Amino acid sequence: MDPRIQDCLAALPRPLPESLSGAHLAKKAGLSSSRFAHLFRAHTGMPLRPYLRWLRLQHALAAIAHGLNLTEAAHASGFSDSAHLSRSFRSTFGIAPNVLLHPLLSLRANA
């Protein structure tokens, strides 16, 4: 992997702010936005925005698994609100988050 891309990935803030942009990351890597986008896709196999959304969704799922509700998980993961988290979840996984989370919440309630 190109070390500039690797360094950017390693330095991504956690949680990811919603305002994080490709232009900002390109500048940190010392590349033009278009060159950064090309190298990022070549080395990760996907464009930057879907990659960042995937990281935010992973963070949100972990937050929910640790007891946060959807709104709290959304804010903790860089989404503006629970509706934004739900839309992103549905567009990525094809189901609403409550379909996946309902069994988890039921298990937690019965424990």
What CATH architecture is 50-110?
A: Orthogonal Bundle (1.10)
Task: Give the start-to-end residue ranges of the domains of the chain.
Answer: 3-47, 50-110
pLDDT digits (tens, 9 = 90+) for 39-63: 999 999 999 999 999 999 999 988 8
Specify the pLDDT at position 108: 62
Specify the pLDDT at position 100: 75
**Within 13 Å of residue 9, how many CA atoms lie on the same side as its CB?**
17
pTM: 0.81
Burial 34-66 (b: 16+ CB within 10 A, else e): eebbebbeeeeeeebeebbbebbbebbbebbee
Ranges in the chain, pLDDT < 50: none
